[in-house]
Amino acid sequence: MRPLALCATLTILTPVVAVAQRWDVGPLRSPTPIPRDGLPPERAAFFTWLVVNSGKLPNNAYQRVQERLYTYVSQLAKDHAGAFPPTSDTAAFNLFRAAAQIGVPGADRVARALYAHPDRLPAPTPIPGFDLAFRPPLFALTSDDSTWGVCFPYYFMAAPGGRQTPANGISTELVVLSTLVAPDRSPAGSSQATIFIAAAPVADSLKHVTTWLKQFGVSPVTSPPESAAGSWFASPPAEPMRRLATIRRLPQRVLVIFYLGQPGTFETNRPHFFNLLATLRDGRCAA
């Protein structure tokens, strides 16, 4: 998109009005195949392997282990139709405690909510640049200056990147969220879709938006998906990694929000992307 056209787009963007809603049950009805990820395929064997290798995992294994744990979280969420498990569910507690020990932000908060004596567990780890609160079944992620926030369910895998200054020189709050696991057409056979959020001061809107749209290789779409409001961008249809993006303006922040995924996973989990967008607001999210 040319700079003048993009500037015009940013000028006419209307402020976000968040509307609370239930999360779509469609993604919760999809199968959850165990990915072909090189880890032990059976659940019991995987956890035995994880215990044996605790503290000595190579750096290139952490992401695969986290994604496998959240494959089991996806199964759990689908078994409960998205509802939060009861505190009597020790398997759920052990699953989130393992995710917390392997370094998944927010998993410690879920484990505490599943334990009858949370004061006996370690205090939740702070998230630099953000406040991450958990009230089952939803997380509320808010920037530490309260300029924006989103809500998402306990079965999303969170990776808040804090406040960073990328090559464009703009202070930017970055968040990566991973959805439920679903079948895809990749060699692994299943994956999570990804929601990527980049938020920057309104004064830097043009440079901020231009940077991220270019980096993700998306172009304007003529008709918004599902009649959604706002400005929308998408990757070329022939590319294997599908990408959808939108720009949202709040009083103090402009956010570029991307949704990415493999064919199959992308379509299955897309309703949850729109559910998350509906929670966005300045300050604490609308659950």
Would you state the pLDDT for residue 13? 52
Q: State the CB neighbour count (10 A cutoff) for residue 43.
A: 15
What does the buried/exposed string (b/e) look like for 162-197 if buried means 16 or more CB atoms within 10 Å of the residue's CB?
A: ebeeeeeebebbbbebbbbbbbbebebebbbbbbbb
Beta partners for residue 173, in sequence order = 163, 199
Chunked into runs of 10 residues, the chain (287 residues) has average pLDDT values of 46 44 91 96 96 87 95 98 96 97 96 94 94 97 97 98 96 98 96 98 97 97 80 93 96 98 97 96 88
CB 223 within 8 A of CB 171: no
> Any idea which residue has 């609370």 for tokens?
20
H or E segment to which residue 266 belongs: helix 265-277
User: Cβ(205)–Cβ(249) under 8 Å?
Assistant: yes
The structure tokens 């393992």 sit at 98
Q: What's the confidence (pLDDT) of residue 1?
A: 44
Which residue, among 158, 155, 157, has the nearest Cα to 142 in the 3D structure? 158
Q: In whole angstroms, what is the distance from residue 51 CA to residue 49 CA? A: 6
Q: What is the pTM of this model?
A: 0.91
Closest CA to 202 of 254, 248, 245: 254
What pLDDT does 227 receive? 67
Angle value at C-alpha 48, between 43 and 51, nearest 5 degrees? 125
